[in-house]
Protein backbone atom coordinates (compact mmCIF):
# COMPACT_ATOMS: atom_id res chain seq x y z
CA UNK A 1 0.00 0.00 0.00
CA UNK A 2 1.25 3.48 -0.85
CA UNK A 3 2.65 5.42 2.10
CA UNK A 4 1.33 8.79 3.17
CA UNK A 5 3.24 12.02 2.62
CA UNK A 6 3.03 14.20 5.72
CA UNK A 7 3.91 17.87 5.30
CA UNK A 8 4.40 20.34 8.11
CA UNK A 9 5.83 23.68 9.12
CA UNK A 10 9.48 22.67 8.74
CA UNK A 11 9.57 19.73 6.32
CA UNK A 12 7.98 16.50 5.20
CA UNK A 13 8.29 12.75 5.71
CA UNK A 14 6.68 9.49 4.67
CA UNK A 15 3.83 8.52 6.95
CA UNK A 16 2.02 5.30 7.72
CA UNK A 17 0.58 2.84 5.24
CA UNK A 18 -2.76 2.31 6.97
CA UNK A 19 -6.08 4.00 6.35
CA UNK A 20 -5.06 7.06 8.40
CA UNK A 21 -2.01 9.27 8.03
CA UNK A 22 0.52 8.62 10.76
CA UNK A 23 3.88 10.12 11.62
CA UNK A 24 6.79 8.27 13.16
CA UNK A 25 7.87 10.00 16.35
CA UNK A 26 11.40 10.13 14.93
CA UNK A 27 10.08 12.32 12.09
CA UNK A 28 8.15 14.72 14.32
CA UNK A 29 10.93 17.30 14.45
CA UNK A 30 11.55 17.12 10.70
CA UNK A 31 7.92 17.79 9.88
CA UNK A 32 6.79 20.14 12.65
CA UNK A 33 9.94 21.49 14.29
CA UNK A 34 8.85 19.99 17.63
CA UNK A 35 11.28 17.39 18.99
CA UNK A 36 10.05 14.63 21.34
CA UNK A 37 11.86 14.65 24.69
CA UNK A 38 11.16 12.95 28.04
CA UNK A 39 9.53 16.12 29.34
CA UNK A 40 7.33 16.56 26.27
CA UNK A 41 7.65 18.12 22.80
CA UNK A 42 10.11 21.00 22.61
CA UNK A 43 11.09 23.63 20.09
CA UNK A 44 13.84 25.98 21.16
CA UNK A 45 13.11 27.14 24.68
CA UNK A 46 9.43 26.24 24.51
CA UNK A 47 8.10 22.84 25.60
CA UNK A 48 4.61 21.35 25.62
CA UNK A 49 4.60 19.14 28.75
CA UNK A 50 3.96 15.43 28.31
CA UNK A 51 1.07 15.74 30.77
CA UNK A 52 -0.59 18.23 28.42
CA UNK A 53 0.10 16.13 25.32
CA UNK A 54 -1.41 13.01 26.85
CA UNK A 55 -1.08 9.61 25.18
CA UNK A 56 0.27 11.04 21.92
CA UNK A 57 3.51 11.99 23.71
CA UNK A 58 4.54 8.36 24.05
CA UNK A 59 3.13 7.05 20.77
CA UNK A 60 5.84 5.72 18.44
CA UNK A 61 3.65 6.37 15.37
CA UNK A 62 1.06 8.99 16.34
CA UNK A 63 -1.79 9.66 13.91
CA UNK A 64 -1.41 12.96 12.11
CA UNK A 65 -4.77 14.12 13.45
CA UNK A 66 -3.56 13.48 17.01
CA UNK A 67 -0.30 15.36 16.37
CA UNK A 68 -2.23 18.34 15.02
CA UNK A 69 -4.64 18.28 17.96
CA UNK A 70 -1.75 18.18 20.44
CA UNK A 71 -0.17 21.20 18.78
CA UNK A 72 -3.45 23.04 18.43
CA UNK A 73 -2.84 23.11 14.67
CA UNK A 74 -5.13 22.74 11.70
CA UNK A 75 -4.79 19.63 9.52
CA UNK A 76 -5.88 18.91 5.96
CA UNK A 77 -6.00 15.44 4.44
CA UNK A 78 -6.53 14.09 0.94
CA UNK A 79 -7.36 10.40 1.33
CA UNK A 80 -7.33 9.66 -2.40
CA UNK A 81 -3.77 10.90 -2.86
CA UNK A 82 -2.56 10.10 0.68
CA UNK A 83 -1.23 13.53 1.56
CA UNK A 84 -1.68 15.22 4.94
CA UNK A 85 -0.67 18.74 5.95
CA UNK A 86 -0.18 19.89 9.55
CA UNK A 87 -0.35 23.64 10.04
CA UNK A 88 1.39 25.96 12.48
CA UNK A 89 0.57 25.73 16.16
CA UNK A 90 -2.65 27.53 17.10
CA UNK A 91 -3.21 30.83 18.94
CA UNK A 92 -1.77 29.64 22.24
CA UNK A 93 1.67 29.47 20.69
CA UNK A 94 1.62 30.24 17.00
CA UNK A 95 4.26 32.38 15.41
CA UNK A 96 6.57 34.44 17.60
CA UNK A 97 5.75 34.38 21.30
CA UNK A 98 6.80 38.03 21.35
CA UNK A 99 7.69 40.57 18.71
CA UNK A 100 10.70 38.50 17.67
CA UNK A 101 11.02 38.08 13.91
CA UNK A 102 11.53 34.39 13.13
CA UNK A 103 14.02 33.41 10.47
CA UNK A 104 12.58 31.05 7.86
CA UNK A 105 14.17 29.15 5.02
CA UNK A 106 13.12 30.32 1.58
CA UNK A 107 14.74 29.95 -1.85
CA UNK A 108 16.57 32.40 -4.07
CA UNK A 109 15.78 33.12 -7.69
CA UNK A 110 18.24 30.34 -8.52
CA UNK A 111 16.16 27.85 -6.52
CA UNK A 112 18.82 27.44 -3.84
CA UNK A 113 17.91 27.64 -0.12
CA UNK A 114 18.28 31.07 1.46
CA UNK A 115 17.57 32.30 4.98
CA UNK A 116 15.23 35.28 5.31
CA UNK A 117 17.82 37.16 7.37
CA UNK A 118 20.88 35.80 5.61
CA UNK A 119 22.13 39.29 4.86
CA UNK A 120 23.14 39.80 8.48
CA UNK A 121 22.12 42.30 11.18
CA UNK A 122 20.69 45.74 10.57
CA UNK A 123 17.38 47.52 10.29
CA UNK A 124 15.45 45.60 7.66
CA UNK A 125 12.28 46.11 5.66
CA UNK A 126 10.85 42.78 4.60
CA UNK A 127 8.60 43.45 1.63
CA UNK A 128 6.20 40.66 0.67
CA UNK A 129 4.96 40.78 -2.92
CA UNK A 130 3.94 38.30 -5.63
CA UNK A 131 4.14 37.80 -9.38
CA UNK A 132 0.31 37.76 -9.41
CA UNK A 133 0.09 41.22 -7.80
CA UNK A 134 0.64 44.64 -9.32
CA UNK A 135 2.95 45.28 -6.38
CA UNK A 136 5.60 43.35 -8.31
CA UNK A 137 6.25 46.68 -10.04
CA UNK A 138 7.05 48.32 -6.69
CA UNK A 139 10.45 46.63 -6.37
CA UNK A 140 12.40 49.46 -8.06
CA UNK A 141 10.81 51.90 -5.62
CA UNK A 142 11.87 49.79 -2.65
CA UNK A 143 15.36 49.65 -4.10
CA UNK A 144 15.39 53.44 -4.40
CA UNK A 145 14.47 53.72 -0.73
CA UNK A 146 17.18 51.22 0.18
CA UNK A 147 19.74 53.16 -1.88
CA UNK A 148 18.70 56.41 -0.19
CA UNK A 149 19.09 54.93 3.29
CA UNK A 150 21.92 52.42 2.84
CA UNK A 151 24.44 54.72 4.51
CA UNK A 152 22.06 54.96 7.47
CA UNK A 153 21.96 51.17 7.81
CA UNK A 154 18.73 50.10 6.06
CA UNK A 155 18.39 46.74 4.35
CA UNK A 156 15.47 45.69 2.17
CA UNK A 157 14.61 42.05 1.52
CA UNK A 158 11.84 41.19 -0.93
CA UNK A 159 9.87 37.96 -0.48
CA UNK A 160 7.67 36.68 -3.29
CA UNK A 161 4.70 34.60 -2.17
CA UNK A 162 4.90 32.39 -5.24
CA UNK A 163 5.08 28.71 -6.07
CA UNK A 164 8.03 28.91 -8.47
CA UNK A 165 11.17 31.07 -8.69
CA UNK A 166 10.68 31.10 -12.47
CA UNK A 167 7.52 33.18 -12.01
CA UNK A 168 9.48 35.78 -10.04
CA UNK A 169 12.67 36.05 -12.11
CA UNK A 170 11.35 38.68 -14.59
CA UNK A 171 10.65 41.06 -11.71
CA UNK A 172 13.44 40.13 -9.32
CA UNK A 173 16.31 40.32 -11.75
CA UNK A 174 15.72 43.97 -12.63
CA UNK A 175 16.56 45.15 -9.10
CA UNK A 176 19.62 44.99 -6.90
CA UNK A 177 17.83 43.60 -3.85
CA UNK A 178 17.82 40.18 -2.22
CA UNK A 179 14.71 38.57 -3.72
CA UNK A 180 13.55 35.34 -2.07
CA UNK A 181 10.65 33.07 -2.96
CA UNK A 182 8.22 31.58 -0.45
CA UNK A 183 7.49 28.39 -2.41
CA UNK A 184 6.09 26.48 0.58
CA UNK A 185 4.37 29.45 2.28
CA UNK A 186 6.63 29.31 5.31
CA UNK A 187 6.97 33.08 5.43
CA UNK A 188 3.31 33.77 4.67
CA UNK A 189 2.13 31.36 7.37
CA UNK A 190 4.74 32.27 10.00
CA UNK A 191 3.99 35.99 9.65
CA UNK A 192 0.29 35.35 9.01
CA UNK A 193 0.01 37.45 5.86
CA UNK A 194 -3.49 38.23 4.65
CA UNK A 195 -2.39 40.33 1.72
CA UNK A 196 0.44 41.33 -0.54
CA UNK A 197 2.10 43.69 -0.49
CA UNK A 198 2.84 43.57 3.21
CA UNK A 199 5.80 45.34 4.78
CA UNK A 200 7.44 44.22 8.03
CA UNK A 201 9.89 46.41 9.98
CA UNK A 202 12.63 44.44 11.74
CA UNK A 203 15.26 46.14 13.92
CA UNK A 204 18.91 45.29 14.62
CA UNK A 205 17.89 42.86 17.35
CA UNK A 206 15.60 41.05 14.90
CA UNK A 207 12.42 42.26 16.50
CA UNK A 208 9.34 43.42 14.64
CA UNK A 209 8.89 47.06 15.61
CA UNK A 210 5.79 47.95 13.59
CA UNK A 211 2.69 45.92 12.85
CA UNK A 212 2.90 44.38 9.36
CA UNK A 213 0.82 46.45 6.96
CA UNK A 214 -0.06 46.96 3.31
CA UNK A 215 2.31 49.56 1.89
CA UNK A 216 3.56 50.69 -1.52
CA UNK A 217 6.79 52.29 -2.68
CA UNK A 218 5.05 54.85 -4.94
CA UNK A 219 1.60 56.07 -5.92
CA UNK A 220 1.35 54.49 -9.37
CA UNK A 221 -1.71 52.41 -8.42
CA UNK A 222 -3.07 54.54 -5.60
CA UNK A 223 -6.40 55.10 -7.36
CA UNK A 224 -6.87 51.34 -7.39
CA UNK A 225 -5.77 50.38 -3.87
CA UNK A 226 -6.30 53.65 -1.96
CA UNK A 227 -3.04 53.59 0.04
CA UNK A 228 -0.75 56.66 -0.19
CA UNK A 229 2.95 55.77 -0.12
CA UNK A 230 4.30 59.01 1.37
CA UNK A 231 3.37 58.65 5.06
CA UNK A 232 4.90 55.18 5.31
CA UNK A 233 8.08 56.10 3.41
CA UNK A 234 8.57 59.14 5.65
CA UNK A 235 8.03 57.00 8.74
CA UNK A 236 10.71 54.58 7.51
CA UNK A 237 13.13 57.49 7.07
CA UNK A 238 12.47 58.72 10.62
CA UNK A 239 12.94 55.21 12.03
CA UNK A 240 16.19 54.58 10.18
CA UNK A 241 17.74 58.00 10.65
CA UNK A 242 16.38 59.06 14.03
CA UNK A 243 15.26 55.84 15.70
CA UNK A 244 11.69 57.11 15.87
CA UNK A 245 9.24 54.24 16.32
CA UNK A 246 5.62 54.43 15.20
CA UNK A 247 2.65 54.24 17.54
CA UNK A 248 1.45 50.85 16.25
CA UNK A 249 4.09 48.73 17.97
CA UNK A 250 3.38 44.99 18.04
CA UNK A 251 2.49 43.65 21.44
CA UNK A 252 3.56 40.28 22.82
CA UNK A 253 1.70 37.65 20.85
CA UNK A 254 1.38 39.90 17.80
CA UNK A 255 0.61 36.82 15.72
CA UNK A 256 -1.94 34.19 16.59
CA UNK A 257 -4.82 36.41 15.53
CA UNK A 258 -6.07 34.18 12.72
CA UNK A 259 -9.43 32.50 13.16
CA UNK A 260 -9.77 28.73 13.08
CA UNK A 261 -11.30 29.06 9.60
CA UNK A 262 -8.31 31.06 8.36
CA UNK A 263 -5.91 28.49 9.79
CA UNK A 264 -7.79 25.69 8.11
CA UNK A 265 -7.75 27.64 4.85
CA UNK A 266 -3.95 27.82 4.95
CA UNK A 267 -3.46 24.08 5.32
CA UNK A 268 -5.99 23.44 2.57
CA UNK A 269 -4.03 25.75 0.29
CA UNK A 270 -0.74 24.10 1.25
CA UNK A 271 -2.29 20.73 0.43
CA UNK A 272 -3.32 22.12 -2.96
CA UNK A 273 0.32 23.01 -3.64
CA UNK A 274 1.42 19.46 -2.91
CA UNK A 275 -1.27 18.03 -5.19
CA UNK A 276 -0.37 20.43 -7.99
CA UNK A 277 3.26 19.34 -7.78
CA UNK A 278 2.07 15.80 -8.36
CA UNK A 279 0.12 16.91 -11.40
CA UNK A 280 -3.25 16.43 -9.68
CA UNK A 281 -4.81 19.65 -10.94
CA UNK A 282 -8.45 18.71 -10.33
CA UNK A 283 -7.78 17.69 -6.73
CA UNK A 284 -5.66 20.81 -6.20
CA UNK A 285 -8.47 23.02 -7.48
CA UNK A 286 -10.88 21.41 -5.03
CA UNK A 287 -8.65 22.27 -2.07
CA UNK A 288 -8.09 25.81 -3.38
CA UNK A 289 -11.87 26.19 -3.49
CA UNK A 290 -12.12 24.87 0.06
CA UNK A 291 -9.49 27.35 1.24
CA UNK A 292 -11.23 30.21 -0.52
CA UNK A 293 -14.58 29.32 1.06
CA UNK A 294 -12.99 29.31 4.51
CA UNK A 295 -11.14 32.63 4.11
CA UNK A 296 -12.88 34.62 1.36
CA UNK A 297 -11.19 37.93 2.25
CA UNK A 298 -7.64 36.54 2.35
CA UNK A 299 -6.06 37.85 -0.84
CA UNK A 300 -3.00 35.66 -0.33
CA UNK A 301 -5.37 32.72 -0.83
CA UNK A 302 -8.10 33.81 -3.21
CA UNK A 303 -5.98 35.77 -5.66
CA UNK A 304 -3.01 33.43 -5.42
CA UNK A 305 -5.44 30.56 -5.89
CA UNK A 306 -6.65 32.04 -9.16
CA UNK A 307 -3.19 31.72 -10.65
CA UNK A 308 -2.71 28.29 -9.09
CA UNK A 309 -5.72 26.87 -10.93
CA UNK A 310 -5.03 28.67 -14.20
CA UNK A 311 -7.31 31.68 -13.84
CA UNK A 312 -6.20 35.25 -14.53
CA UNK A 313 -5.32 37.10 -11.29
CA UNK A 314 -5.50 40.38 -13.25
CA UNK A 315 -8.73 39.57 -15.09
CA UNK A 316 -12.35 40.61 -14.82
CA UNK A 317 -13.19 38.00 -12.18
CA UNK A 318 -10.57 39.48 -9.85
CA UNK A 319 -11.60 43.07 -10.57
CA UNK A 320 -15.26 42.31 -9.87
CA UNK A 321 -14.41 40.56 -6.63
CA UNK A 322 -12.10 43.33 -5.54
CA UNK A 323 -14.76 45.94 -6.28
CA UNK A 324 -17.21 43.96 -4.15
CA UNK A 325 -14.67 43.87 -1.32
CA UNK A 326 -14.17 47.64 -1.51
CA UNK A 327 -17.93 48.14 -1.42
CA UNK A 328 -18.32 45.95 1.65
CA UNK A 329 -15.26 47.18 3.56
CA UNK A 330 -14.79 50.71 2.28
CA UNK A 331 -11.04 50.55 1.99
CA UNK A 332 -7.99 48.67 0.75
CA UNK A 333 -7.49 45.00 1.45
CA UNK A 334 -5.98 44.37 4.89
CA UNK A 335 -2.42 43.30 5.63
Domain borders along the chain are 5-86, 105-242, 260-329
Query: What pLDDT shows up at residue 234?
Result: 95
**pLDDT of 4-14, one tens digit each?**
999 999 999 99
Contacts 24+ apart (CB under 8 A), 42-50: 46/93, 46/97, 48/93
Query: What pLDDT shows up at residue 299?
Result: 85
Query: What pLDDT shows up at residue 250?
Result: 55
**pLDDT of 88-104, one tens digit each?**
886 544 444 447 888 99
Q: Are 129 and 160 in contact (CB under 8 A)?
A: yes
Q: Is the peptide bond before 197 cis (omega within 30 degrees of 0)?
A: yes
**pLDDT of 259-306, one tens digit each?**
899 999 999 999 999 999 999 999 999 999 999 999 998 888 989 999
Which residues lie closer than 8 Å to 242 by C-beta, 6 or more apart? Answer: none
> In the CATH scheme, what is the code of domain 105-242?
3.40.30.10
Which regions of the chain are under pLDDT 50? 92-98, 251-254, 256, 333-335
Model-level pTM? 0.89
Amino acid sequence: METWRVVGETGSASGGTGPEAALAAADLATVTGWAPKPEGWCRGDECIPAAVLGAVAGDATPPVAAVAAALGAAVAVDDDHRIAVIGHRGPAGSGPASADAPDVELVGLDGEPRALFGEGPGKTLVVAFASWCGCRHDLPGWQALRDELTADGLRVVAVAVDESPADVVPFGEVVDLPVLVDVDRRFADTYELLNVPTVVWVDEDRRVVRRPSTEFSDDSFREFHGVPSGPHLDAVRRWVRDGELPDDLPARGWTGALSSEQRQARVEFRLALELLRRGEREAAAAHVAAADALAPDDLSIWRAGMQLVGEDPFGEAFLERYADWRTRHGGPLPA
